[in-house]
A and B are shown apart, each in its own frame.
Chain A
């Protein structure tokens, strides 16, 4: 069969190279639980005045009804174009603004990180971030996640299963922050969606 058609590459399990403090595992466990239950608290803990967030909708595949709740914020540069004012306006900076946007997005429920088959998480450290103290450079952690979550749009009475990817860059925090590291960049991409029976009211 392989000789007749090109073949996909093998898929290995998550590849977590996040250093000896296992920052990625600790961060993600807290992150998705809070994202499902208390987004404002999450933004206050890990996002500072210089954090960036954007969401983008994969326009070819997500003509689903629930995407309408995201699409006016979608920063898909390929679709908007480089010079569209949307590429400026749909990039959200700072904890308060990010938190405000999150309240407008559909509710979610993510699987526990203990369900390993539900998550593909790859991460590694990299050099070259700016040190927040202004002295020299710092090590960053890049994390990429592919997973699914239950997604509910209360206003539309719609529920479904969303495949998403989410990518973080973590870096050291500014002095006085609640955690030693902060979210420098958070990019959420919405992929395929399948409807579910509406959640009970």
Chain B
């Protein structure tokens, strides 16, 4: 029952959430880098003096997305295991939801983006995304594979516009929204 003025923002934020979730956990599951999904190292945000992303992993503050990648790498280590069906750490997403928390996000925005996109356009959105699922340890690639251990996870992200990508209509590469904050918990 959201007011109709918010319809575009709600639809666009749901789309952005889905794109981000699909990309992020695929990268994690394929042991690929995720650092390009964060504000750190983004030239436009760096130039404007944005703080590094605030990342808190099970209560531990990590300074950079690269350090988080290192923890994920550490988590995957099992040199003695030879069976490929018992080597992986797999994140299965089971639930996610996303709200726009500032529809008029302006930080580091090029003037062109402010002129072009009203706060009702579903572009200049700051969003809060929550993701829940299960992590399987010592498992294969697919749902239903055996595993050595499992735990639940909860990830929370604050996402902000990537002006470099959103400003180029039709841009096919790069993340449209970047992580400015992350809280990760397993239980």
Query: Which of A5, A87, A89, A187 has a CB less than 8 Å from the CB of B78?
Result: A5
- Please give, as numbers and ranges, the residues of chain A lying within 8 Å of B106 by CB-CB distance: 137
Q: Looking at the assembled complex, report how far the CB atom of B50 sits from the nearest CB atom of chain A, in whole angstroms.
A: 8
Question: Are A9 and B152 interface neighbours, CB within 8 A?
Answer: no
How many positions in chain A have a CB within 8 Å of any CB in the partner chain? 62
Q: Looking at the assembled complex, report how far the CB atom of B3 sits from the nearest CB atom of chain A, in whole angstroms.
A: 6
Q: Does chain B have a CB within 8 A of A39?
A: no
Closest A-B pairs by Cβ, 6 of them: A12-B59, A5-B138, A5-B148, A3-B80, A185-B99, A144-B183
Question: Are B71 and A142 interface neighbours, CB within 8 A?
Answer: no
Chain A residues 122 to 141 lying within 8 A of chain B, measured CB to CB, are 122-124, 126-130, 137, 140
Closest to B10 in A: A88
Query: Which of B56, B58, B151 has a CB less than 8 Å from the CB of A10?
Result: B58
How many positions in chain B have a CB within 8 Å of any CB in the partner chain? 72
- Please give, as numbers and ranges, the residues of chain B lying within 8 Å of A184 by CB-CB distance: 101
Query: Which of B57, B86, B187 has a CB less than 8 Å from the CB of A146?
Result: B187
Query: Which of A12, A123, A169 has a CB less than 8 Å from the CB of B128?
Result: A169
Segment with Cβ contacts to B, from A26-34, A57-65, A104-112: A57-65
Bound Cα distance A11, B104 (Å): 36
Question: Are B75 and A7 interface neighbours, CB within 8 A?
Answer: yes
With A3-B78, A60-B94, A77-B97 in contact, is A89–B59 under 8 Å at CB?
no
- Please give, as numbers and ranges, the residues of chain B lying within 8 Å of A13 by CB-CB distance: 59
Query: Which of A15, A78, A88 has a CB less than 8 Å from the CB of B93?
Result: A78
Q: Mark B94-109, 1 if CB is under 8 A from A, else 0.
A: 1111111111111100
Q: Does chain A have a CB within 8 A of B27?
A: no
Q: Does chain B have a CB within 8 A of A18?
A: no
Q: Looking at the assembled complex, report how far the CB atom of B30 sits from the nearest CB atom of chain A, in whole angstroms.
A: 15
Question: Are B151 and A4 interface neighbours, CB within 8 A?
Answer: no
Bound Cα distance A76, B101 (Å): 18
Closest to A136 in B: B106
Q: Does chain A have a CB within 8 A of B158?
A: yes
Q: Does chain B have a CB within 8 A of A38?
A: no
Question: Are A189 and B59 interface neighbours, CB within 8 A?
Answer: no
Q: Does chain A have a CB within 8 A of B123?
A: no
Segment with Cβ contacts to B, from A91-99, A151-159, A193-201: A91-99
Question: Are A185 and B101 interface neighbours, CB within 8 A?
Answer: yes
Q: Looking at the assembled complex, report how far the CB atom of B64 sits from the nearest CB atom of chain A, in whole angstroms.
A: 16
Bound Cα distance A6, B181 (Å): 26
Q: Does chain A have a CB within 8 A of B177?
A: no
Question: Are B187 and A128 interface neighbours, CB within 8 A?
Answer: no
With A78-B93, A137-B106 in contact, is A14–B130 under 8 Å at CB?
no
Question: Are A124 and B185 interface neighbours, CB within 8 A?
Answer: no
- Please give, as numbers and ranges, the residues of chain B lying within 8 Å of A175 by CB-CB distance: none
Q: Looking at the assembled complex, report how far the CB atom of B139 sits from the nearest CB atom of chain A, in whole angstroms.
A: 9
- Best-buried of B57, B97, B152, B158 by chain A (most CB within 10 Å): B97
Question: Are B54 and A189 interface neighbours, CB within 8 A?
Answer: no
Q: Looking at the assembled complex, report how far the CB atom of B21 sits from the nearest CB atom of chain A, in whole angstroms.
A: 7
Question: Are B11 and A82 interface neighbours, CB within 8 A?
Answer: yes
